[in-house]
Structure 1
Amino acid sequence: MAQPYSSLGMKSGTHDNWERLVGAIFRREDLRRLMLGNDVDTESSSSASSEQPNFISFSFQQILQATHNFSTQNLIKRGRSGDLYRGFLQESAHHVVVKRIDVRVAVMLEAHALELECFSRISVDDLSRFVPLLGHCLEGHQHYKFLVYKHLAKGDLKSSWSKNLAAMDWSRRMRIAVGAAEGLAYLHHDCNPPLVHGEVEGSSILLDSNFEVRLGSLSQVRAQERDTRIIPENGITRFYMLTSPSEVVNACKAAEDHAFGTSKQTCAYDVYCFGKVLVELVTGKLGDSDTSDGTIKDWLRETLRCISVYDRESIRGIVDPLLILNEESLEEAWAVALVAKSCLNPNPTKRPLMRHILGALENPLKFVKGWTPDSTSPRLLTSISWKLMELLATRAKSPHVRVQENLTLA
């Protein structure tokens, strides 16, 4: 489990913090390599390096050569946390992505201090869930620092969707959904306190050459604050660890944001955004829900109306017409749509936990197995259902857990 996520002093010490965090991350990797020893066989060393690249300190000259002096032709996009450039390292013949951070811009520097601290809190074994950080360049330019990432062949899900549409069959879409859910479940449940991604959308889900998912856009990751966290218990919501009137006021404001799903510092917000991604995977309309345009909101509202626990066939009205689905795949699409709808519940306290979502996506047919349309009290998407899904997921991995096969979700 990750160590506690400490707060950063982001004023006069911001630059020092950034340097300190970079050093800590790369020193940790050096330590790991020393512990492994130098007599590792070639095959295992090669395998390890493909999953967990050795962090490198690049020279400024290497960065300039790789990006053709930061040519506009190499520019991928400009962002709040830095500008991204395509690069090619001549020495290793590797394609990379270079992020240029302007240390004079406080918000940019803060975002990357947080991103680096996020990397430092992720265990080595779990780094494979996230975009691979290869190294850094801290010297050579007064105003800029650089981070170097592995280039992922398929790019981000949103921008590469149309280019790879023929390859986006239902099986691959399911793999993408599960991969993204695994990364988010790690942030929410394996980090202490829970980490909130804050930018869950198609552009933050990156794909390698095999369409395996790596979560990116980690510069917005924040710890879910303890003093403003809302904990539902048996229908009762309580605040805890509030010690002063100002904290109570801040907590009430956070509660209001939380109740209307507007706070970006809650895991429930990540769940809501992930629900939109699931809708996009089912409908094939990638990126449509990213905007706040009124027609897009209307489209999402109408789409959700077609997702019913009573009627599996209604899913045919929204499923991507390019998909070729047999009866089993159609049932899976229905299950995923039901998961998405529960993620998009207007009440954040009624949204499922990320680990339950992951269990449902790993076992979509079991998620709907036992559902009876004739039931007088359909409550498929209750907390009991989600806990059952977690149990089913555990059962699939362990022969010692016994669950009644025909248990009706209620």
Structure 2
Amino acid sequence: MPKLPLSCLPNFFPLLLLLFTSMPFVVLSQDATKTEQAILLKLKQQLRNPASLQSWNSSTSPCSWPEIKCTGGRVTGLLLRNKNITVPIPETICELKNLAQVDLAYNYIPGGFPKVLYKCSRLQALDLSQNYFVGQIPDDIDRLSSLRCIDLGANNFTGNIPPAIGNLSELQTLYLYQNQFNGTFPKEIGNLANLEVLGMAINGFVPSPIPVEFSRLKKLKYLWMATANLIGRIPESFSNLSTLEHLDLALNHLEGNIPRAFFTFRNLTNLYLQENRFHGEIPRFVEALDLVEIDLARNNLSGSLPKDFGKLQKLQYLSLFDNQLSGEIPPSIGLIPSLRIMKIFNNSFSGVLPPQMGIHSSLEVFDVSTNQFSGQLPENLCAGGVLRSVFVFENNLSGEVPQLLGNCTTLRKVELYKNKLSGEIPSGFWTASNITSLRLHFNSFSGKLPNNTVARNLTRLEISNNKFSGSIPKGISKWANLVVFEASNNMLSGEIPEELTSLSSLNSLLLDGNQLSGHLPSKIVSWNSLTALNLSRNGLSGQIPAEFGSLPDLIYLDLSQNHFSGQIPPKLGNLRLISLNLSSNQLSGQIPSQFDNLAYENSFLNNTRLCAVNTVLNLPNCYAKLDKSNRLTARFLALILILAITVFVVAVTVALFAVRGYKRKKQKRDQAAWTLTPFHILHFTKASILANLTDRNLIGSGGSGKVYRIAVGGGKLVAVKRIWNNKKRDSTLEKEFLAEVEILGTIRHANIVKLLCCISSEDSKLLVYEYMENQSLDGWLHGKTKASASAASSVHHVFLDWPSRLQIAIGAAQGLCYMHHDCSPPIIHRDVKSSNILLDSEFRARIADFGLAKMLAGQGESQTMSAVAGSFGYIAPEYAYSTKVNEKIDVYSFGVVLLELVTGREANRGDEHTSLAEWAWQHSIEGKAVAECLDEEIKEPSYLQEMINVFKLGLMCTNTLPSARPSIKDVLQVLRKCSDGSKA
């Protein structure tokens, strides 16, 4: 939740009064102005002359400088927010005797709490948020006795919040959010009689109840203590907080009932109690007539809603989702005139929805999904003309969709799936220009798809498991932005129109289980993004178009249970198919050689005229076409030949024959024991790989096996990683193998190493990759790799210069960005390090070694792994003690790589006692110049600022607080800006 936009500006009237009563009522002398000007210019120099302070000069008055606030001609405010300050606060700052406001937020100021400010005797407003402060808040912080506003949020303070903070009697705003406090917070905060805003959210305090003393904060309007490890109950005495407007106790461990008296506040405008562990019913809080927002989501609340809920006439936002609430929704909710957003999904509500919902208010979001509602949809949900989203899926609703809802031109998302709705879809759904998602599957809708449509922004159309009939209209080509079209298990008929293939954004097309007939379109216009195509269980006929083999992203293809005939197009073997099903057709001829392995053993069932060259699959051998008599004749001739040879060549020939026969059988048996699964078109055989697994081709070994470099013809090389199976390591290595194959076999990106195929047997498993000529980044940075011939000719040195390093960082970030943001579900690598960033002949970066990677179950969700994996120096601190997996652990590890690139130091050797990340942070905290940390071998004046920026980016990525780290997408943007600057 963002900070409340309250002003921290001090009241300057007492200061003015002091100025005007302590001296004659005349204009201040020029000497006083020059003195303050000299102090500020000295301060600028001590801050290392930030470029943003260019307007500070001796020829103009300080009161004209944009960062200076003056009152009565004297400097009273210093506004240095976001000025790229990287050094501790100088003592000079308090030589400005009338200084009342200091704003240093959004800088890179290191060190502990700045006690130099104690000398600023008139300081009223202090904002140090979003910096790099560390350590504890001092026990004598009450020496800043004039403070009215203090913001220390988003730093790295630890330990306890000292009781002395309760002595700041003038304090009105106290922000301590998003730090690393791991101790306690004091009950003495309750002594702050003037406090209006208290924000201590996002901290790891020792589990503590809310102090009853907080009930004495009579002027408190805003209480933000989300994610603060709160336990126990909400104090009944909170009813004393008569001015409270906004309460956020989200993501804690509170329990018990919500106090009834809690809802008698006349001025409560926001109520947030998300993700706690409350128990019991929601009390009757009908007297809280001024409530504007109620958010009780993600708790364990139970019971029904009070019948008088509708008396909350000012309620705009109602959020009760993810609880265990039950019973009927009070009809009075439909009478609330100001209600805009209603989210009550994932509960056990039943009965009918309030029929007057939307008539009296301008409803924008209506989400009642995953409950047990019955009856019909309210007819007037869009009466206010601003409805954006309707989510009623997974209920027991019946009847038809109201026509008025179909006429709602503001609708963007309509999700009605998994109900018992019937009838025809309102025509407005097909023509609404704003609608992007229409999900109607698993109902009993009927009718035909319209030929004239203008829903140009529609991206998802899901109508599977209904009773739609008729043909697929040619006008479907107007849905140019359609990404998902799922119409399985309906009664659609006729041919598939060629216009359907013009949808260039289409990713998933599921038309299985219909009555479609005729030939498939012979011309594929624009299916370049198609990944899944299912046309099974129809009456389609003719040949499979060879153009299907040219679809670059297709990985799921199901044409089973149709009447296709002829040969399988050889080009189909070019596809990187994860799943293929051509069963139950009338296909004939040889299957493409790429499918001749056990990965496709169920792909060709019930096609009696298909054959294969090998006998791995349960198909006839294409070359075994001799009839029985011919085979007998051949055997007879062979027997005569053997007997003749036996007569003329005695014992030696027999012995030689026996030895050769034994070797041949052994070779065939050994090769038959290996199974090859390709992921790309291969220009080599498994025999050529197996024959070259010799020590002369060995280039590396580790805990999971050996790595070989093998020539496969045409001057091409591959890298083969061999993993052994044995009793001690079998389970662990099997998991690594399966993880690597699962991930690399499905993803495609220019900055991710390409897995060509896998070859497996009972004893060991082989992963065959494209070979990277320049090996790993680790070797180049730390002197472990020699330049290849191609590299030496283009780089002319044995180290990487800064432009090369920056491009490597961008390439690696692009690979990680694809994994985190473009894969669904996202992929977490878990072992990002310089030795897992490989370089091709042009020094382009490729992310490698996914043996420790893990696909997440859902976007944005964490997963707990059974054991910590990774490499020392790269492991995020929270991963070491919580084993929680999300994208931020990769961001931390990549931050270490960035620090390696700019410093030239190894990740586990910042100095003799610390890792690189710890060393870099310590360097920053001590206020040392960043330039002192940079790799002297490549440091040049023209690249200095870029290297400094990347060093700071590495610090941001290795922040110990995961929420403070940027996403890898943001990291990539910063790196690209650096690159653009270097090219300018």
Give the alignment's TM-score, normalised by structure 1: 0.62
Question: Residue 201 of structure 1 corresponds to which residue in structure 2?
Answer: 833
Change in CA separation of 1:364 and 1:304 when aligned onto 2, cut-off 3 Å:
farther
Question: Residue 168 of structure 1 corresponds to which residue in structure 2?
Answer: 800
User: Is residue 711–residue 717 contact of structure 2 (8 Å, CA) maintained in 1?
Assistant: yes
253, 260, 265: which one pairs with 2:885?
265
User: Is residue 197–residue 221 contact of structure 1 (8 Å, CA) maintained in 2?
Assistant: yes
Q: For structure 1, which segment, 172-181 or 302-311, has the greater mean C-alpha deviation from structure 2 after superposition?
A: 302-311
1-structure distance, mates of 2:714, 2:736? 29
Change in CA separation of 1:97 and 1:177 when aligned onto 2, cut-off 3 Å:
same
Change in CA separation of 1:215 and 1:31 when aligned onto 2, cut-off 3 Å:
farther
1-structure distance, mates of 2:859, 2:800? 43
267, 283, 296: which one pairs with 2:903?
283
1-structure distance, mates of 2:819, 2:957? 17
Give the gaps of 5 or more residues in structure 1.
4-29, 40-52, 231-246, 368-410
115, 125, 129: which one pairs with 2:740?
115
1-structure distance, mates of 2:548, 2:723? 27
Q: Is the radius of gyration larger for structure 1 or structure 2?
A: 2
User: Is residue 196–residue 270 contact of structure 1 (8 Å, CA) maintained in 2?
Assistant: yes
2-structure distance, mates of 1:152, 1:341? 30
Shift, 1:194, TM fit: 1.9
User: Is residue 57–residue 136 contact of structure 1 (8 Å, CA) maintained in 2?
Assistant: no
Shift, 1:205, TM fit: 0.1
- Is 1:92 the counterpart of 2:714? The answer is yes
2-structure distance, mates of 1:266, 1:317? 33
Amino acid at match of 1:223: M
User: Is residue 98–residue 147 contact of structure 1 (8 Å, CA) maintained in 2?
Assistant: yes
148, 156, 163: which one pairs with 2:776?
156
User: Is residue 86–residue 97 contact of structure 1 (8 Å, CA) maintained in 2?
Assistant: yes
Question: Residue 935 of structure 2 corresponds to which residue in structure 1?
Answer: 320
Shift, 1:129, TM fit: 1.6
Shift, 1:144, TM fit: 2.2
User: Is residue 205–residue 216 contact of structure 1 (8 Å, CA) maintained in 2?
Assistant: yes
Output the aligned Cα RMSD: 3.9
Shift, 1:137, TM fit: 2.9
2-structure distance, mates of 1:202, 1:32? 40
Per-residue Cα deviation, 1:104-130 (whole angstroms, up to 9, x for no partner): 5222222121112112442x4x2x221
**Higher normalized strand content (fraction of residues):** 2
Which secondary structure state, in structure 2, belongs to the residue aligned with residue 110 of structure 1?
helix
Q: How does 1:233-252 map to 2 (within 5 A)?
A: none
Amino acid at match of 1:119: L
Per-residue Cα deviation, 1:254-302 (whole angstroms, up to 9, x for no partner): 9xx98834236221111111111111100112xx2147x9835255433
Q: Flag the structure with more relative contact order, 1 or 2, with Cα contacts below 8 A and sequence separation at least 6.
A: 1
- Is 1:143 the counterpart of 2:755? The answer is no
Shift, 1:38, TM fit: 8.1
Question: Residue 361 of structure 1 corresponds to which residue in structure 2?
Answer: 975
Change in CA separation of 1:85 and 1:366 when aligned onto 2, cut-off 3 Å:
closer
Change in CA separation of 1:148 and 1:58 when aligned onto 2, cut-off 3 Å:
same
Percent identical: 27
Which secondary structure state, in structure 1, belongs to the residue aligned with residue 818 of structure 2?
helix
User: Is residue 283–residue 320 contact of structure 1 (8 Å, CA) maintained in 2?
Assistant: yes
Question: Residue 912 of structure 2 corresponds to which residue in structure 1?
Answer: 295
Shift, 1:145, TM fit: 2.8
Shift, 1:95, TM fit: 1.7
- Is 1:75 the counterpart of 2:698? The answer is yes
1-structure distance, mates of 2:966, 2:837? 21
User: Is residue 307–residue 334 contact of structure 1 (8 Å, CA) maintained in 2?
Assistant: no
User: Is residue 289–residue 297 contact of structure 1 (8 Å, CA) maintained in 2?
Assistant: no
Question: Residue 214 of structure 1 corresponds to which residue in structure 2?
Answer: 846
Question: Residue 27 of structure 2 corresponds to which residue in structure 1?
Answer: none
1-structure distance, mates of 2:979, 2:779? 30
Change in CA separation of 1:172 and 1:111 when aligned onto 2, cut-off 3 Å:
same
Shift, 1:343, TM fit: 0.6
> Alignment length, in residue pairs?
294
Amino acid at match of 1:304: W
Shift, 1:60, TM fit: 4.4
Question: Residue 370 of structure 1 corresponds to which residue in structure 2?
Answer: none
1-structure distance, mates of 2:732, 2:700? 17
Per-residue Cα deviation, 1:174-215 (whole angstroms, up to 9, x for no partner): 001111111111111111222110111011000001100111
Give the gaps of 5 or more residues in structure 2.
1-482, 484-506, 508-545, 553-568, 572-678, 788-796, 869-874
Amino acid at match of 1:319: L
Change in CA separation of 1:166 and 1:354 when aligned onto 2, cut-off 3 Å:
same
2-structure distance, mates of 1:220, 1:66? 27
Question: Residue 130 of structure 1 corresponds to which residue in structure 2?
Answer: 752
Per-residue Cα deviation, 1:26-55 (whole angstroms, up to 9, x for no partner): xxxx9975547989xxxxxxxxxxxxx943
- Is 1:337 the counterpart of 2:951? The answer is yes
Give the alignment's TM-score, normalised by structure 2: 0.27
Q: How does 1:23-62 map to 2 (within 5 A)?
A: 33-35=549-551, 54-56=680-682, 59-62=685-688
Shift, 1:331, TM fit: 0.7
2-structure distance, mates of 1:136, 1:318? 44
Amino acid at match of 1:84: V
User: Is residue 718–residue 770 contact of structure 2 (8 Å, CA) maintained in 1?
Assistant: yes
2-structure distance, mates of 1:190, 1:169? 31
2-structure distance, mates of 1:279, 1:258? 14
Change in CA separation of 1:166 and 1:60 when aligned onto 2, cut-off 3 Å:
closer
Change in CA separation of 1:188 and 1:280 when aligned onto 2, cut-off 3 Å:
same
Which secondary structure state, in structure 1, belongs to the residue aligned with residue 714 of structure 2?
coil
Amino acid at match of 2:698: L
Change in CA separation of 1:264 and 1:322 when aligned onto 2, cut-off 3 Å:
farther
2-structure distance, mates of 1:299, 1:258? 13
